Amino acid sequence: MMAVSDIESAFSGRLAQFSELGAKLKFDFGDDRLFIDGTQSPAVMSHADEDADTTLVISSEDLEKIMHGQLDATMAFMTGKLKVKGNTGNAMKLASILK
């Protein structure tokens, strides 16, 4: 099981890609969150509970499965394992960054 700190470490190497989105993203894991401000270059990551253009509500376990190719993001969305609030276009662009 991937801890939020492990996801944070994995994302830290991809901050330039998050900057290309030019949006504020929040991953809401229920008991924790990761906020990525992709409007800055390089993107800035924190655990802040700030307003985001797109919020993805997902368990850290399911996000890990998406990152390792064990769960398709579209299937996760269709089965309710992934909920998207805000700009869904950002969520679709995010799929390539997560792989």
Q: pLDDT for 15-55, tens place per residue? A: 889 999 999 999 999 999 999 999 998 999 999 999 999 99
Model-level pTM? Answer: 0.92
Handedness of CA 62, 33, 23, 56 (dihedral sign): positive
2, pLDDT greater than 80 = no
Query: Once rounded to an integer, what is the mean pLDDT over residues 62-79?
Result: 94
CATH code of 57's domain: 3.30.1050.10
How many structural domains does the chain have?
Answer: 1
Q: Can you give the pLDDT at residue 28?
A: 97
pLDDT at 1: 58
Which residues form the domain of 49?
4-98
Could you tell me the sign of the dihedral formed by the alpha carbons of 87, 88, 94, 98, in that order?
Answer: positive
